[in-house]
Amino acid sequence: MRRYFNRSILHKVTLIFSCVLLTFITVPAISFERIATIPQEFNLTPSLLHHIYVAIIISTFVFSLSFFVVRKRTKRINNLVQIFTSVAHGKRDIRATVDKNDEVGLLAKVLNTMLDELSETEYQREQVTRFYSAWVACNDLIVRGTPEDILLSEICHIIANQVAFKLTWIGFINPKTQEIEIIASNNFKSKYLQHLHISSNANIPEGQGATGQAIRSNQPVIFNDLLNEKKATRWRDMAQEENIRASAAFPITREGQVVGAMCLYSTQVNYFTQELISLIHGLIEDVSYALENLDRKKIQISQDHELRIAAAAFESQESFMVTDAQGLILRVNGGFTALTGYTANEVIGKNPRLLSSGRHSKEFYIEMWDALKEHRFWQGEIWNRKKNGYIFPEWLCITAISNSVGEIVNYVATSNDISQRKADEERIRQLAFYDELTKLPNRALLFQRLNLALNTSQRYHKYGALIFLDLDHFKILNDTLGHTLGDQLLLEVSRRLLECV
């Protein structure tokens, strides 16, 4: 190497190459024949030219190698930039390729982790929103007084369809065998459900699962990793076959006693978050309340039929009224007087229309009498007026009494004040659509009204506005001064908001 690159020659080569390079950089417009002016003192011998060629070739190789290395590194960074752009436009299923453990690879790993966490958070938020919607639909069935078997079946289907559970079912305890009898489900054809045997007895293996524990403890029991849960070993193979990875059991009560449970299954591990568990628990409380109401209604109907054939029924505290075939009042009991304020002497011989509130149309009464003639029975909600003018809702049952030849000779009417039931229904509606603390509309009602406003705006080409208010440092207030003061702050804010509306 010394033969080619001695100090004098290397100095000359470097100077000539610098002149050529500066000419390329600073004077790109000069013709190629006038690239550089080489000083006269340099004697361009063949040996010197050889060294110049070698230097140019090496420089060209180094420059090309550097160019390709930088381009490769820049390409990976550009790929990350494109991923960031796609995420900003709402695409969440894209991920960066991690092919090396250098700085770019580390950045790609961090980006993938952030996207995974973002997708998981958005998915959980979507599931909570879906469950709110399902809860509202279930409460609508409860408020309408849907029969028990239809109610429980519809609840299983609504929750499974709207929240995308793999399987949902409701079962009640058989008092004799202590086994759980499944009475409602979204999929009775499920192999898991067909081979499922559960008991509330803690002394047998069938009673060691989530459902048995929930019934005995009257508390929700969650298996967020079902396949690795020791207490669920008995059901592991069936769960794996149907791709069930998490389960939850919630006890159902009637009159304060646990009578069964509702179980939900998901295909995802750790699916049941604390927020979702709280929402499901709230729905189960509403279901228990609805079952108690249905029980009371069944008892009421049974009593009505029994009192229809017994004169001793007049000793009951319920309101009774007997009319002749033309509808003129013959007898009333003390319950009637307590309910309406009219004594027997004030109504006997008169038509029951004196109780009319004026809220019902003529067609309403025509349909009622048509039902009586055809079915010899009618029941329903009706608004009547008391003696003092107060209008109230009551549940009215009218039965036609026939003689031996089938002719109607009397009508027996039993009625109950359902003001409390109406208040309970309003309470359910408040729980479904309003915050219990502030009494302001909750998220479910917000989405309902917002969808209505959007549809109205689109239809009539009108515009509206949505205001978002946030309380700064509210968490600090809760953590430092306690939730009681935090609740007081929310109440004061809600009061001021209501004053501004």
The pLDDT tens digits for 139-167 are: 888 888 788 889 999 999 999 888 878 99
* pLDDT score recorded for residue 6: 46
Q: Which of 27-36, 140-149, 331-340 has the lowest mean pLDDT?
A: 27-36
Average pLDDT over every residue of 257-268: 94
The contacts of residue 349 (CB under 8 Å, 6+ apart) are 328, 329
Distance (Å, whole) CA 371 – CA 262: 38
Average pLDDT over every residue of 480-494: 83
Which residue carries 């669920």 as its tokens? 232
Dihedrals phi, psi of 28, to nearest 5 degrees: -70, -20
CA distance to 168, 252, 286, 297, per residue, from 292 (Å): 22, 11, 10, 9
Residue 276 or residue 421, greater confidence: 276
Distance (Å, whole) CA 378 – CA 372: 6
Q: Which of 59-63, 72-76, 201-205, 341-345 has the lowest mean pLDDT?
A: 72-76
* pLDDT score recorded for residue 212: 93
Angle at 195 between CA 194 and CA 199, to 5 degrees: 105
* pLDDT score recorded for residue 297: 83
What is the helix (H) or strand (E) element at residue 398, kind and residue range?
Answer: strand 391-402
Give yes or no for residue 88 having a pLDDT over 90. Answer: no
Domain boundaries, the chain: 7-86, 124-294, 309-419, 423-500
Give yes or no for residue 4 having a pLDDT over 80. Answer: no
Give yes or no for residue 184 having a pLDDT over 50. Answer: yes
DSSP 233: G
* pLDDT score recorded for residue 13: 46
| CATH code for the domain defined by 124-294 | 3.30.450.40
Q: Which of 11-15, 409-413, 486-490 has the lowest mean pLDDT?
A: 11-15
Average pLDDT over every residue of 108-137: 72
Categorize the per-residue pLDDT at 24 as very low, low, confident or very high, splitting at 50, 70 and 90.
Answer: very low
* pLDDT score recorded for residue 96: 66
Render pLDDT for 404-450 as a digit per residue (tens, 0 to 9): 888 899 999 989 888 887 877 777 777 777 777 777 787 777 788 88
Residue 422 or residue 307, greater confidence: 422
Residue 112 or residue 44, greater confidence: 112
| pTM confidence score | 0.44
E strands, 226-304, in order: 246-254, 257-266
Residue 384 or residue 493, greater confidence: 384
Give yes or no for residue 7 having a pLDDT over 50. Answer: no
Give yes or no for residue 260 having a pLDDT over 90. Answer: yes
Categorize the per-residue pLDDT at 5 as very low, low, confident or very high, splitting at 50, 70 and 90.
Answer: very low
Categorize the per-residue pLDDT at 103 as very low, low, confident or very high, splitting at 50, 70 and 90.
Answer: low
Same fold, 124-294 and 309-419: yes
Sign of torsion, CA 268 270 274 277?
A: positive
Average pLDDT over every residue of 247-251: 95
| CATH code for the domain defined by 309-419 | 3.30.450.20
Categorize the per-residue pLDDT at 53 as very low, low, confident or very high, splitting at 50, 70 and 90.
Answer: low
Q: Which of 128-142, 336-350, 354-368 has the lowest mean pLDDT?
A: 128-142
Nearest CA among 227, 228, 229 for reference residue 213: 229
